[in-house]
Amino acid sequence: MMIVVMARITLMIPDNHSLKGKRQVVRSLVERVRHRFAAAIAEVEDHDLWQRAKVGVALVGNNSQLLRSRLDQIMHFMENQHLAEIIDSQVELCYLEN
C-alpha cells in the first residue's frame, strides 16, 4: 500500500511590502525544505498577495505515522527559519492500494 500525506500551509509574511519580497521568502523556504527533507513543495495559492502565501507539501511512503511525523518536522523547520509564520494548515492522508 502506498500512502500520500498532503498539506496546504498558509504563511503570513508580516514584514513584507512587495511581491518581490514575498517571492524571495517563499523561494527560500521551498528550496530549504526540498533540500533538507526531499519533499515535494510549491506555492499553490495567493500568488498576488504580498503578506500571505499558501504552499502545498506532499510526502509518499508506506507508514502513515512516519509521514505525519515528517510533515510535523517540515512545518517546525519552516517556522524556525523565522521568514514567515504558519497561520493555518490542512492535512490529508490518502491510502492507495496496488
pLDDT at 14: 87
Its sign, for the CA torsion 80, 32, 88, 92, is negative
Q: What CATH number does the domain containing 62 carry?
A: 3.30.70.1120
Considering only CA atoms, which of 20, 19, 29, 25 is closest in space to residue 49? 19
**Beta-bridge partner residues of 11:** 53, 86
Model confidence pLDDT, tens digit, residues 1-28: 899 999 999 999 988 889 999 999 999 9
pLDDT at 98: 72
Has residue 97 got a pLDDT over 90? no
pLDDT at 47: 85
Predicted confidence band of residue 48 (pLDDT cuts 50, 70, 90): confident
Element (H, E) at 72: helix 64-80
Domain count for the chain, please give it: 1
Residue identified by cell 500500500 is 1
Predicted confidence band of residue 75 (pLDDT cuts 50, 70, 90): very high
Whether the full predicted model's pTM is greater than 0.95, yes or no, is no
All cell numbers assigned to 57: 507539501
Q: What is the mean pLDDT of residues 29-54?
A: 93
Contact 84, 53 (CB under 8 A): yes
Query: Containing domain of residue 30, as a range?
Result: 2-96
